[in-house]
Amino acid sequence: MQPVNLLTSGRWRRYCLFLLFTLVCVSAGTRWEKPVWQPIQQTLDLGLKSIAFVPKTDQDNAEADLPSAEYVVFPGDKIDDIFHRMGLAEDDLQQVLESDLNHLRFDVMSPGSVLRFWFTEDSNYLEKLELELNVAQRVIYQRGENGGFDVQEVEIPGEWRSSVIKGLVGQSFRQSAIGTGLTESDVSFVTNLLREKIDLDKDLDAEDRFEIVRASQFVDDIASGQSEIRAVKFDRHGTIISAYLHDDGNFYDADGESLQRGFLPVPTNAQYWISSRFNPRRIHPVTHRRKPHNGADFAVEVGSPVLATGDGVVVQVANHPYAGKYVVIQHGRKYRTRYLHNSKILVKKGQWVSRGQEIAKSGQSGRVTGPHIHYEFHIWGRPVNPLSKKVPLIKGLQPSEQQNFLTTVEQIDAMLHDEPTG
């Protein structure tokens, strides 16, 4: 999907000069505080000491569709606090949060993320909101005809640059890997990826070696903060244990056998009945507006076990006014699952979970009509029917895929061979 161009070249220069001037004020020792909403007709009071709020003139807005205001997220900021601080209507906040239910993007914004606001010329009535999570990911909330907001996610592919990390196991793989630049998340991922083949905490000696290929995303030479492991190889007393990421988003060993297990068909072992099915054209039972239902609802008693349907890492744990207490699990690069409306969360962000592990207790948190588990299954970022055959039971590669995979293995092995040993 192509990025949304918000600024024409002339206005972009003026906009950049303004930000540059403000940044100079910062470097000169100005003390910054969180911004307060000011009418856009007023000039920016540099005494506020913040570039987080940048008003533009009505003429600039009309000519280049520049935002009326801009807010840079501070540590501890939440979307409702930001709306209230800027004096925006509670109705606007609730409508934006409702539109975000199928995306849950405000729960992953972090310090440095940018919020841009567009208002009507004669008031602070919100017409459009843009959330820039990083240089590669934006979410646009555009006021629709029904008064709510339509949501568009914009992702810039950018360039993925691979690097090779090598080292000796030493006292422990974890300690050595972090010393070479891998993150705790990377180490946990590798450890769990190979756990059916080797225990990296117990089965390695100090002289054993590891080689890891990690790719990082860049947009216009700016790192987005997104990275992924693409290959892993351990030399244990001369025995090679390896894993390679294939184009389908799954990891396989050098022989093409999958290192990942398939998924459970349902997210609970309690008695249930399906109270609502996947329906992209559903009419919401509370608002009576057309609202896609991106998952299946399993009606169960409050407190029933909510199970991870596959092996993966917990990437989100939050409490949303509409989604309630929820968990999101990433299963490799390709698959992601969501579990909404729980009464209690039993896992933490960054934790590795196994297929069938209890991750929550069911409930009716958020906006619901009754207790149930709302379960979603996403493939490459798009929700699919979790009860359909699209949910995989991962096995080995098909014969038709073997040649492409072997080509990938040869390319990665050549990269590892060419890289100097650390």
Write the pLDDT tens digit of every residue in 37-90: 433 333 233 333 343 445 555 555 445 679 999 999 999 999 999 999 888 999
The pLDDT score that the predictor gives to residue 238 is 93
Structure tokens at 397: 């590669």
Q: What is the mean pLDDT of residues 119-144?
A: 92
Residue whose C-alpha is closest to residue 115's, from 93, 138, 148: 138
Query: How does 285-318 read in b/e, with b if 16+ C-beta sit within 10 Å?
Result: eeeeeebebbbbbbbbeeebbbbbbbbbbbebbb
Query: Regarding predicted confidence, which is higher, 399 or 71?
Result: 71
Q: Once rounded to an integer, what is the mean pLDDT over residues 360-384?
A: 95
The DSSP line for 200-236 is: TTTS--TT-EEEEEEEEEEETTEEEEEEEEEEEEEEE
Residue 387 CB-half CA count within 13 A: 13
Going from the N-terminus, what domains does the chain have, and what CATH number goes with each? 9-155 (3.10.450.350), 159-260+397-418 (3.10.450.350), 273-384 (2.70.70.10)
Span 320-347, pLDDT tens digits: 999 999 999 999 888 999 999 999 999 9
Under the banding of pLDDT at 50, 70 and 90, the label for residue 148 is confident
Give the pLDDT confidence score for residue 400 in this predicted structure: 81
Lowest mean pLDDT among 96-105, 145-154, 201-210, 310-319: 145-154
pLDDT value of residue 49: 32
33 vs 26, 29, 50, 326, CA distance in Å? 11, 13, 6, 32
CB 153 within 8 A of CB 139: yes
Please say whether the beta carbons of 372 and 299 come within 8 A: yes
| Beta strand 149-155 pairing with 137-143 | antiparallel
Any idea which of 19-28, 108-117, 119-128, 397-406 has the lowest mean pLDDT? 19-28
Number of alpha carbons in the 13 Å side-chain half-sphere of residue 359 = 36
| The pLDDT of residue 21 is above 90 | no
Report whether pLDDT(13) > 70: no
pLDDT of residue 288: 67
**373-379 and 114-119 beta bridge pairing:** unpaired
Cβ atoms of 56 and 66 within 8 Å: the answer is yes
Q: Mean pLDDT across the stretch 17-25? A: 45
The secondary structure of residue 44, as a DSSP letter, is: P
In percent, the amount of the chain with pLDDT more than 90 equals 66
Q: What is the pLDDT of residue 83?
A: 95
C-alpha 288, offset from chain centre: 29
pLDDT number for residue 34: 42
pLDDT score at 284 = 64
Per-residue burial over 44-66, b = 16 or more CB atoms within 10 Å of its CB, e = otherwise: beeebbbbbbbbbeeebbeebeb
- pLDDT of res. 310: 93
Question: CA-based diameter of the chain, in Å?
Answer: 73
Other C-beta atoms closer than 10 Å to the C-beta of 135 total 19
Compute the average pLDDT of residues 315-320. 96
Question: Can you tell me the distance from the alpha carbon of 181 to that of 422, in angstroms, rounded to the nearest whole number?
Answer: 12
Comparing 102-116, 207-221, 270-284, the range with the smallest average pLDDT is 270-284
**Please, what is the average pLDDT of the chain?**
84
pLDDT of residue 40: 36
Cβ distance 341 to 368 under 8 Å?
yes
CA dihedral sign, ordered 58, 60, 61, 63? positive
DSSP label of 63: H
Band the pLDDT of 420: cuts 50, 70, 90: low
pLDDT in tens, 252-294: 999 888 888 889 999 999 999 999 999 988 776 666 667 789 9
Sheet strand arrangement including 251-252: 159-168, 209-219, 222-236, 239-245, 251-252
> Is residue 415 over pLDDT 60?
yes
